[in-house]
Amino acid sequence: MTARSLHHVATRTAAPRARARTNQPVRRNSRHAGSVELALWKKHNTFAPSEVNARMRAAEEFEHETKLPGKRNGALGAIGLKVLRFMFRRRGKKTGRLDMSIGYIAAEIHHARSAVAAALKRLKEAGFLDWIRRCVPIENAEPDEQQVEQIPNAYFITTPATAKERVRRMLRRPSEFVRAIADKVLRQHKLDTTGVVGIIAEVKDPALRSMLDRARASVDSASPSSGQNEAL
């Protein structure tokens, strides 16, 4: 038997033993599909179309600012910006769903798979993108066979802290401080105009609402509107 045939026999017999030992030849930290991504898609990938241009401009400014003299690209790179723009276009507008293979992305934006994988890594490191690895169980798999298989990652479009303020200014939204002051003024105005009775009426818990009504009645009887307590 030649060395080549020996190598063929060894690799043919060793592979099944390795697979039977792990039973799950998938990427580390892979989650079962449907476990968490639906809520995360809704949280991160559903936003108004007006935000797309602002977020993209923030990413482009970040790329420009991180580009060192004499260098061709910044922290994201031209392909990174192209991948991010592709993600904005392909996200589900209602569900936020965003799950495609790296090979599919590469074919759509006409770049090598390795270049896209590197761009995804840069986007994640900069905080503009995140993802979770996923797998699904294989139906009718035998005990000594592969039990789960890898499926495309679930992607989430994120905004790093360095870009959030830029996006806010572009969209002309009030800052957190201004919103906090506005909320405080609104609550005080509601208290002044609605009164205690109206506020108690908005309490949803019947038991708590009843307790507050009794407390209000007790206070009113102790301090009548005339300002004078009844004579004993």
| Residue 210 falls inside a structural domain | yes
Structure confidence at residue 12 as a pLDDT band (50, 70, 90): very low
Domain ranges, residue 123:
21-171
Domain identity same for 161 and 195: no
Map tokens 């993600």 to a residue.
87
Its pTM stands at: 0.63
Cβ burial, residue 50 (10 Å; 0-12/13-18/19+): exposed
The 10s digit of each residue's pLDDT in 130-176 is 999 998 888 776 777 777 888 999 999 999 988 888 888 888 765 55
Which of 151, 171, 191 represents a domain boundary (last residue)?
171
Are 48 and 140 within one domain?
A: yes
Is pLDDT of 232 > 50? no
Verify that 54 and 82 share a domain, yes or no: yes
Cα 66 to Cα 166: distance, rounded to the nearest angstrom: 16
Kindly report the CATH number assigned to the domain that includes residue 29: 1.10.10.10
Quote the number of domains for the chain.
2
